[in-house]
């Protein structure tokens, strides 16, 4: 029996559906804030409310053998919290460690934690990707909270003997994706000219199906215990190339104006959009060779296949 937290979310929902379809013998407990949707056969939804230091997980953990923890206070481009780091810590650190502590007491064998590449940092030099075992270097409060959650889980699992697996995804895209990736899809669909034709960065992305596939592997593979993994599609692209490949998936042509990246960065700084400029112009690459070496895992979908599914999800 597997407990998936954040089961109504973008990643959690896809994970629950995939797990439920794998085998009739797999019982999936879907932890949700509210019971407001129908679930496939083999899924047992349980309302737990918010992820907080005081949340009672006893009902959701009953009979559970393993946990995949997707729930979190997500990264926000504009965070209006008065004390942003404390707000993230309450959910992502204290709420997570509270869940893991109750899971260990309930006899859970393995705890898979969906962390974030922001634990590694915000950017890489082209050709020098992040590695899974690099020393963490988070910058913002979200990344710091995820790193602290990882540290808290390691300490708890060392004391209790519960197996821990940490997965740090890069930006996840797929059918139903929101936020910045959705904006990219809409930009290309609209056909408006975009000043992004001379961006020579290199970024890693991960299709939702690829992330879900790795998480399931981390749930069952003996060699995953005690390890940290990064995850991507295994193919890095520039922002300019990504937009062209999104256009190809739509059967369109991307109209990209050849403005220098320095102009975009300067304009973004003037408008207070430095983080957006970093995502559009900066590089962030990850190395996933460890996944193949320890788990025999390669991404089932190529980048182009993942983009096609994301576009189909948007258009339908």
Annotated active-site residue in 113, 130, 142, 297: 142
8 A C-beta contact, residue 310 and residue 184: no
Residue 142 designated active-site: yes
Select from 55, 85, 61 the least CA-distant residue to 73: 85
Q: 82 Cβ partners below 8 Å, 6+ apart?
A: none
DSSP structure string for the chain: -EEEESTTSHHHHHHHHHHHHH-TT--EEEEESS--S---TTEEEEE--S--TT---HHHHTT--EEEE-------SS---TTHHHHHIIIIIIIHHHHHHHHHHTT--EEEEE--GGGT-S---TT--B-TTSPP---SHHHHHHHHHHHHHHHHHHHH--EEEEEEE-EEE-TT--HHHHHHHHHHHHT--BS-TB----B-EEEHHHHHHHHHHHHH-GGGTT-EEEE--S--B-HHHHHHHHHHHHT----B---BHHHHHHHHHHTT-HHHHHHHHS-B-B--HHHHHHH----SS-HHHHHHHHHHHHH-
CA–CA gap between residue 175 and residue 96 (Å, rounded) = 27
Query: What count of Cα atoms within 13 Å lies in the side-chain half-sphere of residue 104?
Result: 17
Distance CA 228, CA 112 (A): 10
The residues annotated as belonging to the active site are 142
């Amino acid at each position: 029996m597997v407990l998936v937290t954040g089961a109504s979310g973008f990643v959690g929902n896809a994970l629950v559906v995939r797990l439920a379809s794998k085998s009739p013998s797999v019982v999936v407990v879907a932890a949700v804030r509210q019971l407001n949707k129908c679930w496939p056969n083999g899924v047992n939804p349980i309302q737990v409310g918010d992820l907080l230091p005081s949340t009672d997980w006893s009902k959701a953990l009953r009979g559970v053998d393993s946990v995949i923890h997707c729930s979190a206070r997500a990264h926000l481009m504009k965070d209006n919290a008065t004390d942003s780091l404390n707000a993230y810590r309450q959910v992502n650190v204290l709420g997570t460690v509270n869940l893991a502590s109750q899971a260990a007491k309930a006899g859970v064998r393995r705890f898979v934690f969906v962390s974030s590449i922001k634990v590694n940092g915000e950017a890489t030099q082209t050709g020098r990707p992040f590695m899974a075992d690099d020393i963490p270097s988070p910058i913002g409060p979200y990344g710091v909270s995820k790193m602290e959650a990882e540290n808290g889980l390691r300490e708890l699992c060392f004391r209790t003997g519960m197996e821990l697996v940490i997965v740090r995804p890069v930006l996840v895209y797929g059918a139903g994706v929101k936020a910045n990736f959705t904006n990219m899809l809409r930009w290309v669909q609209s056909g408006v000219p975009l000043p992004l034709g001379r961006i020579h960065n290199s970024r890693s992305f991960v299709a939702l199906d690829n992330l879900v596939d790795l998480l399931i592997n981390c749930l069952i593979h003996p060699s995953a215990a005690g390890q940290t993994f990064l995850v991507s599609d295994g193919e890095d692209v520039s922002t300019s190339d990504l937009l062209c490949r999104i256009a190809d998936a739509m059967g369109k042509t991307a109209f990209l104006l050849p403005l220098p990246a320095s102009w975009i960065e300067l304009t973004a700084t003037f408008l207070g959009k430095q983080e957006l400029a970093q995502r559009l112009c900066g590089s962030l690459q990850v190395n996933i060779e460890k996944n193949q070496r320890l788990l025999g895992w390669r991404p089932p979908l190529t980048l182009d296949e993942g983009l096609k599914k994301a576009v189909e999800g948007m258009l339908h």
